[in-house]
Structure 1
């Protein structure tokens, strides 16, 4: 991942983090050296329910959110839908 890609991934994850925090999820954004940046999303009512989310561009240049186990969540331009899908994975839908 290039420096530019890494920076753009962080930007997408920061937008998603803000959306999830607005719905009371706990989030932690990390950027380990040599690895893709990731957003740890935690269900505050059941802290053992957590997922790592990545942002990555596809071969066509479009950015997507992914669960750590390679499950595509949604397009990075649709943060609201991505947050809803993450909430459903964590068994909590907040509206």
Structure 2
């Protein structure tokens, strides 16, 4: 396995775990791949499918983090409670792909 394969495998493992915790009647989750083959967690609000977001998992300074699509960290992968809370907060606010101004 190449280093890139190992990184993609680790990222997918973290994203699947997060997705399993987020999968509810109101939030659909699916792990897919970017054009470059890196894993991404696709989140869609079931009642309002236009409300969606993509989350990534990547290592930074030796620690794995969940990241918003706009490259802002959500929480370390070891802190699922914070990640879940922040993701639910985004969807509760009705925002879609909020990006810094």
Scaled by the length of structure 2, the TM-score of the pair is 0.80
The equivalent position to 1:44 in structure 2, one of 43, 46, 68, is 46
CA distance in 1, matches of 2:37, 2:91: 24
- Which segments of 5 or more consecutive residues in structure 1 lack a partner in the other structure? none
Unpaired runs of 5+ residues, structure 2, are 94-101
**Structure number with higher strand proportion:** 2
Q: 2:43·2:52 contact (CA, 8 Å) conserved in 1?
A: yes
TM-score normalised by structure 1 residue count: 0.85
In the TM superposition, residue 83 of structure 1 has moved relative to its aligned partner by 1.2
- What is the alpha-carbon root mean square deviation over aligned residues? 1.8
Kindly tell me the number of residue pairs found equivalent between the two proteins. Answer: 91
Correspondences of 1:58-77 after superposition (within 5 Å): 58=60, 60-77=61-78
Bigger-Rg structure (1/2): 2
